[in-house]
Structure 1
């Protein structure tokens, strides 16, 4: 007997430093509508961002669940840092709860690079996903499972500067594409040495500005590919490690 259960529809949202993007996905990650975007508010506090999201999705087809990629450290749906939006606005904000209240559907929120990673990896071995945009996003996955998020972007890389400062948007604007690209090449060498990944996926709006040849196990991916990761957050068989709580040691 065939199931009469309606296919799950997921509102997938990517909150970025310059734009907020959204689309509707089916449970396999196939776009049901073209993804649309609005400018991220200049004062990107929770109220303004949620207001922008409500404006963006007004008129969207019905959906059952919500997945959100957020540019900062997120744990169990609660934002801890938001360096490109203003951490003082966002510290300890339960964004999953706020969006559930605002839009009326169950919501999961993860780091934006983590969500993109779920959307682009092939599920084989240790895969690393980075985003080159306003800042530097990273995600690690093992055999398709999302590993606990690391804020690699804020590790010092050169003369006290972290990755965000060294290869983010501001560095690109200040140094120009050629010098910025040389910096990125240096960063890639570091990542290869430190993580020894099987595949590196490169996303973000600045990935098209790279001026050097990529290794065979490096691949440029699009933001459209990444937003599809919103469907995989609701894949119960996947059980991403980022959602597993840290056990309290027994005495």
Structure 2
């Protein structure tokens, strides 16, 4: 395979870490390589898995990484679903660039997925329903600075993660969880007044609500193009390229 423009796209999640090769247009070139995320994983543990993913992959020239926490300029500041005590001002983008000897762009995982599914026209919001609640805010195809909306209170002192995350779904059951999602959709519409809302993540199939015409479901496969679109953005806001030292 010719490496010209190819991208190694990595998704670091609370339950799994996976990667694949994309062409410059975001088309998947290989099957996902997937590993279980160790409990309370450190940056060293993540790097070990990233190296395993990259090993024996076809040639690539760039790396895109989605991370489940607050990321700015390639630095991780929080990681609530990965034991955040291990993730305070960790220069993960630079560490991955040095480990793979390849330029890296590291963003929040919902931001990367969101880039892959939005139309690129107007004010758009993408949310993921998984271990936690991820959000990406995009205007005319450009990511706005990331908001950790998941940790804003939504009900009785609970934040979005505690209210509609995977643990809440299991505890409350699908019917009650859907009632909570109905409330969340109303809040999102009021707060953001978006043109379009995209809803995905591992628990999107549990969503049984009727939705408005400008709300669209997506799968993680739909969002895969975000790893390529990340490299079409200018270096602005929190989008920074880390080069090997």
TM-score by length of 1: 0.91
Cα distance in structure 2, aligned partners of 1:64 and 1:20: 20
Please list, as runs of the form range in 1=range in 2, the aligned pairs for 1:96-115 lying within 5 A after superposition: 96-115=93-112
For residue 92 of structure 1, give the secondary structure of its aligned residue in structure 2.
Answer: coil
Query: Which portions of structure 1, spanning 4 or more consecutive aligned residues, are displaced by more than 6 angstroms?
Result: none
Give, in angstroms, the shift of residue 86 of structure 1. Answer: 1.3
From 37, 60, 65, the counterpart of 1:63: 60
Matched, 1:120 2:117: yes
Deviations 1:160-189 (A, max 9, x none): 000000000110111111111111111011
Deviations 1:217-243 (A, max 9, x none): 0111111122321111111xx326433
The 8 Å contact of residues 16 and 40 in structure 1, kept in 2 or not, is answered as yes
From 170, 190, 193, the counterpart of 1:193: 190
Cα distance in structure 2, aligned partners of 1:243 and 1:169: 28
Please list, as runs of the form range in 1=range in 2, the aligned pairs for 1:8-27 lying within 5 A after superposition: 8-27=5-24
Q: Which stretches in structure 1 are left out of the alignment for 5+ residues? A: 246-251
Cα distance in structure 1, aligned partners of 2:143 and 2:179: 30
From 148, 153, 156, the counterpart of 1:159: 156
* Segment of structure 1 superposing worse, 106-115 or 41-50: 41-50
From 210, 214, 234, the counterpart of 1:239: 234
Look up the match of 1:51. Answer: 48
The 8 Å contact of residues 14 and 227 in structure 1, kept in 2 or not, is answered as no
The 8 Å contact of residues 13 and 21 in structure 1, kept in 2 or not, is answered as yes
Give, in angstroms, the shift of residue 33 of structure 1. Answer: 1.0
Deviations 1:61-116 (A, max 9, x none): 11111000000000000001100001110110000111011111111100011111
Give, in angstroms, the shift of residue 52 of structure 1. Answer: 1.6
The 8 Å contact of residues 114 and 138 in structure 1, kept in 2 or not, is answered as yes
Q: Which stretches in structure 2 are left out of the alignment for 5+ residues? A: 241-245
Cα distance in structure 1, aligned partners of 2:161 and 2:223: 20
Give, in angstroms, the shift of residue 212 of structure 1. Answer: 1.0
Look up the match of 2:243. Answer: none
Cα distance in structure 2, aligned partners of 1:24 and 1:192: 35
Which structure has more relative contact order (CA 8 Å, sep 6+)? It is 2
TM-score by length of 2: 0.94
Deviations 1:37-70 (A, max 9, x none): 1111123111111112222332211111100000
Look up the match of 1:248. Answer: none
Look up the match of 2:32. Answer: 35
The 8 Å contact of residues 107 and 239 in structure 2, kept in 1 or not, is answered as no
